[in-house]
Amino acid sequence: MTEFWLISAPGEKTCQQTWEKLMVATTRTNNLSTNHKFNIPDLKVGTLDVLVGLSDELAKLDTFVESVVKKVAQYMGDVLEDNKDKVQENLLANGVDLVTYVSRFQWDMAKYPIKQSLKNISEIVSKQVTQIDNDLKARASAYNNLKGNLQNLERKNAGSLLTRSLADIVKKDDFVLDSEYLVTMLVVVPKTNYLDWQKTYETLAEMVVPRSTKQLFEDNDSGLFSVTLFRKAVDDFRHKARENKFTVRDFQYNEEEMKADKEEMTRLSTDKKKQFGPLVRWLKVNFSEAFIAWIHIKALRVFVESVLSRYGLPVNFQAMLLQPNKKNMKKLREVLYDLYKHLDSSAAVIDASMDIPGLNLSQQEYYPYVYYKIDCNLLDFKV
């Protein structure tokens, strides 16, 4: 299970008692969840007015930071293309997998100094993650353009003989060049019509050079044939060829253009390889930064809601991280409700995924204890 429930409950005589009560109710007899203490340091409370404003700001910041974390993760998947199984091993926080990081969470005092006010800490996170978001947009745009241009060129060199580039198929020797009167044309002939072509090509127009056809290439459906004729017969030949289900390709042999196309393909391919390594490293580092910031925002939200809306001052609550056993999630909710219903009699066991007409839960479940969900599965595809 990659889902965690981050909850808090008021300290009994001590916070340790609150923790032990939870452990007895959820693990010692019925294995409903794996639990960890979630360590939130002594943060500066400030005034209640500030906390009220901060509560709304943190909710928005939580949504924004989560969206950036998911964007970076998803883009890592896009960049690794055929190696999507490697995506998960690159999505680490502080060098460890996400489940380990969350379950052993320690506040980063260097990045988010607790002597600062809560508002300042939230602004540090906001600024940091906005920068990551902006950088991601710029880097993704540059890499996607490069990738798109390369794919367009690759598409030109693949596909049906009716549409694909012929530059890598034909050679100079296949053409009569620099002749005032003669021209070599390229014709796509369906495989089933090869015999017809050999029988009729010399008679499709006047002035076709006898025995001048040559098969240059074949794919699954068709063959590419060259034929030499007088320039003045070109239009007539083209028309008659179409009537016989032979397709004349518009192609002029131009060595310079073909060389330029090949060089462009090589350049784009080299550039893509050059950018790939640094981009993956950047994504790895900044995924870690954004994910760590997100979990700190969760910690701030637990702190603010515990003090502001639920348990008041002085600060006395225990934050706890539950990793539910998938089969027992409903039972776990009921046990938690029984354990904490005395805290708020108006809170029922209601899940936002239940559709109850006329009841707007504003996308956030409400329980008698502080609750936030953390889901470490951040990818739309399964790896």
Rounded Cα distance, 42 and 98, in Å: 24
Those residues whose C-beta lies under 8 Å from the C-beta of residue 152, and which sit 6 or more positions away, are: none
Q: In what order do the strands lie in the sheet with 214-218?
A: 214-218, 222-230, 182-190, 247-249
Query: Domains of the chain, with CATH numbers?
Result: 3-150+270-323+360-375 (1.20.1460.10), 172-252 (3.30.70.100)
Q: What's residue 358's pLDDT? A: 40
The answer to whether 233 and 206 have CB atoms below 8 angstroms apart is: yes
pTM of the model: 0.78
Work out the number of other CB atoms within 10 angstroms of the CB of residue 277.
9
- CA nearest 97: which of 106, 88, 105, 84? 88
What is the C-alpha radius of gyration for the chain, rounded to an integer number of angstroms?
34
Token digits of residue 347: 């809170």
Per-residue pLDDT at 355:
45
Query: What pLDDT does residue 256 have?
Result: 80
Is the link from the previous residue into 314 a cis peptide, with omega within 30 of 0?
Answer: yes
Write down the pLDDT at residue 91: 92
Token pair belonging to 341: 């219903």
Q: How many residues can be counted in the chain?
A: 383
Helix (H, G, I), strand (E, B) or coil at 318: strand
Per-residue tens of pLDDT for the chain, all 383 residues:
689 999 998 887 788 988 898 888 888 778 888 999 999 998 888 777 778 888 899 999 999 999 999 999 999 999 998 676 788 889 999 999 999 999 999 999 999 999 999 999 999 999 999 999 999 999 999 999 999 888 888 888 778 898 888 888 899 999 999 899 999 999 999 999 999 999 999 999 999 999 999 999 999 999 999 999 999 999 999 999 999 999 999 998 888 888 888 888 889 888 888 989 899 999 999 999 999 999 999 999 999 998 877 777 777 788 999 999 888 889 999 988 888 888 876 655 555 444 444 434 444 567 888 999 999 987 765 43
